[in-house]
Amino acid sequence: MDNPYDQVAYRTFPRRQTHPDRLAAIALFFGMKPAPPTACRVLEIGCGDGANLIPLAYYLPESRFTGIDLAAGPVAAAGAMAAELAVHNIDLRVADLRHLSARDGEFDYIFAHGLYSWIPADVRDRLLAVCRQCLAPQGVAFVSYNVYPGRYPRQMIREILLYHTRTLVDPAQRIAAARRLLEQLDHPEARSLMEQGDDVLFHDDLAPVNDPVWFREFAAHAQRHGLQYLGEADSHNTFEQVAGEAVNVIEREQYVDFLNLRRFRQTLLCRAEIPLDRVTGAARMDEFLFSENKRARRIRAHQPEPVFAEEPVEAIAQALHDTAPLPARFEELIPYAGNAELLREILFALLSSGCVNLHVHDFPCQETVTERPCASRLARYQAAGGGNVTNACHIPVELDAVARRLVGLLDGTRTHQQIARELSRTAGMPSPRDVRRYLPASLDWLARMALLEG
């Protein structure tokens, strides 16, 4: 039988939460000694068409990447992309995770996004077994999955759709029938599903398996395989409550899910025997870099408000906004606080309230526009395909048609004048004079978006 991911292509995207920088930073924060992003071994289980893994391999050329997937079509597309970009530090292959073992090597970081909830129980069991067997002693595994209680409403709609399409075999017919029924359902989850692409509807909600779990069940499952809960890949979910005395972290996280009606988790695991430092403070802020968290939220009412003058906090927040998406080093932020000690306290407060992201990696890119600007080969390849492009920080950047054409011209051989002249020849472009006038600002924006390289 054809693999459903060969029948209906599933769009994949770069996921910043899986970047080794993010995983290493969280591991270091809790007392581990993770492998540096610039020299690590990565395994992605369910790599699809490589949209997440290939950009990582491109920007981290000294690290090694392995991606496996059951669907031959997406793996072939990933292989073609890697070959076109001359990315040689990656191994992409069609393989079944049930056949993986320690013989396949040791990995510092393992990703399994969108897999745990969508595979049968015995395969879920094997997934966590593989994480234990293949994870380096100081390694981190990323596993995402649906959770209760927040998933209950979506599960209700899913069961309705499964019943409604139970006699249909053809994917296109199932999708069309599901959409016709969704149009008649007066429910926010139904409206949300109508806004999703056919690939998401088919693979996520019409899939034969989609089993949410309670967080406590997932944690217990991981523990049976010699793994322990480390944290969440999203900064605003990991560092909110790091201050204060040690508590039962599993119990606390379960109640966080209750209170927030959480529906999805991106959990980080490590080996059970690793001692973790759950009680940490501001003293170690010097070890990290920091970036603005665009999903930042105000400190909740039940959390103590940090006692700081408003001016340095606003100055630091503005500095992080100005450098985004790139992170800023601790030393670079000292002038905004006035002294290092105050900066430590402010950054720790911002971190524990979910307002900043933590980093250990200084992302390589050209931050200023040179005489002959050069967009990354990855960005030029993706722009030519008409889709979003991935920047050095592993963030998708949306470009309009003109910007995609501009990126395609930035191969490092053209001066600004030559770029303007060629860009003005594109159908629908303004006059050459207007193109020359707006070009500097456009190039500056591409540099700020971490899309240029030296």
Asked if the structure places residue 351 within a domain, the reply is yes
- When pLDDT is cut at 50, 70 and 90, the band that residue 375 belongs to is very high
- Beta bridge pairs of residue 90: 65
Instruction: Tell me how crowded residue 168 is: count the other CB atoms within 10 A of its CB.
Output: 15
**pLDDT of 154 strictly over 50:** yes
Q: How far apart are CA 327 and CA 321, in angstroms?
A: 10
- When pLDDT is cut at 50, 70 and 90, the band that residue 299 belongs to is very low
Asked if the structure places residue 121 within a domain, the reply is yes
247 plus 112 within the same structural domain = yes
Asked if the structure places residue 283 within a domain, the reply is no
Percentage of the chain modeled with pLDDT above 70 = 94
End-of-domain residue from the set 359, 386, 412? 359
Quote the pLDDT of residue 311. 87
Number of domains in the chain: 4
- When pLDDT is cut at 50, 70 and 90, the band that residue 308 belongs to is low
Asked if the structure places residue 372 within a domain, the reply is no
200 plus 249 within the same structural domain = no
What's the chain's average pLDDT? 92
Asked if 364 and 391 touch (Cβ cutoff 8 Å), the reply is no
160 plus 120 within the same structural domain = no
**pLDDT of 243 strictly over 70:** no
pLDDT digits (tens, 9 = 90+) for 391-407: 999 999 999 999 999 99
198 plus 179 within the same structural domain = yes
303 plus 382 within the same structural domain = no
What is the separation of C-alpha 60 from the centre of its chain, rounded to a whole number of angstroms?
A: 16
Mean pLDDT check: name the lowest of 54-63, 156-165, 299-308, 428-437.
Answer: 299-308
Establish how many alpha carbons lie within 13 A of residue 403's alpha carbon, considering only the half-sphere containing its beta carbon.
Answer: 18
179 plus 243 within the same structural domain = no
Asked if the structure places residue 193 within a domain, the reply is yes
Quote the pLDDT of residue 37. 98
Average pLDDT rounded to a whole number, residues 167-189: 97
Average pLDDT rounded to a whole number, residues 230-235: 91
Average pLDDT rounded to a whole number, residues 228-243: 77
Average pLDDT rounded to a whole number, residues 366-374: 96
Contacts of 227 (CB under 8 A, 6+ apart): 128, 131, 132, 135, 141, 269, 270, 271, 272
- When pLDDT is cut at 50, 70 and 90, the band that residue 245 belongs to is very low
Give the 3-state secondary structure of the chain: CCCHHHHCCCCCCCCHHHCHHHHHHHHHHCCCCCCCHHHCEEEEECCCCCCCHHHHHHHCCCCEEEEEECCHHHHHHHHHHHHHCCCCCEEEEECCHHHCCHHHCCEEEEEECCCHHHCCHHHHHHHHHHHHHHEEEEEEEEEEEEECCCCHHHHHHHHHHHHHCCCCCCHHHHHHHHHHHHCCCCCHHHHHHHCCCHHHHHHHHCCCCCCCECHHHHHHHHHHCCEEEEEECCHHHHCCCCCCCCCCHHHHHHHHHHHHCCCEEEEEEEECCCCCCCCCCHHHHHHCEEEECCCCCCCCCCCCCCCCCHHHHHHHHHHHHHHCCCCEEHHHHHHHHCCHHHHHHHHHHHHHCCCEEEECCCCCCCCCCCCCCEECHHHHHHHHCCCCEECCCCCEECCCHHHHHHHHHCECCCCHHHHHHHHHCCCCCCCHHHHHHHHHHHHHHHHHCCCECC
Cα 417 to Cα 299, 369, 437: the distances in Å are: 49, 14, 11
Asked if the structure places residue 120 within a domain, the reply is yes
Instruction: Tell if the pTM clears 0.85, that is, is over it.
Output: yes
**pLDDT of 242 strictly over 60:** no
284/161: higher pLDDT: 161
12 plus 136 within the same structural domain = yes
137 plus 65 within the same structural domain = yes
349 plus 232 within the same structural domain = no
Quote the pLDDT of residue 247. 66
End-of-domain residue from the set 307, 324, 359? 359
319 plus 436 within the same structural domain = no
Mean pLDDT check: name the lowest of 123-132, 175-184, 315-324, 423-432.
Answer: 423-432
Quote the pLDDT of residue 396. 96
- When pLDDT is cut at 50, 70 and 90, the band that residue 98 belongs to is very high
247 plus 130 within the same structural domain = yes
End-of-domain residue from the set 359, 389, 405? 359
Quote the pLDDT of residue 309. 62
Of 319, 318, 339, nearest to 328 (Cα)?
319
Of 453, 292, 274, 263, nearest to 369 (Cα)?
453
Q: Give the domain range for residue 187.
A: 152-205
Quote the pLDDT of residue 210. 97
Asked if the structure places residue 38 within a domain, the reply is yes
Q: Give the β-pairing of 328-329 and 107-112.
A: unpaired
- When pLDDT is cut at 50, 70 and 90, the band that residue 302 belongs to is very low
CATH code, 95: 3.40.50.150
Asked if the structure places residue 53 within a domain, the reply is yes
252 plus 354 within the same structural domain = no
Quote the pLDDT of residue 296. 58
- When pLDDT is cut at 50, 70 and 90, the band that residue 427 belongs to is confident
Quote the pLDDT of residue 395. 97
Peptide bond preceding 325: is omega within 30 degrees of 0, i.e. cis? yes
- When pLDDT is cut at 50, 70 and 90, the band that residue 300 belongs to is very low
Average pLDDT rounded to a whole number, residues 192-203: 96
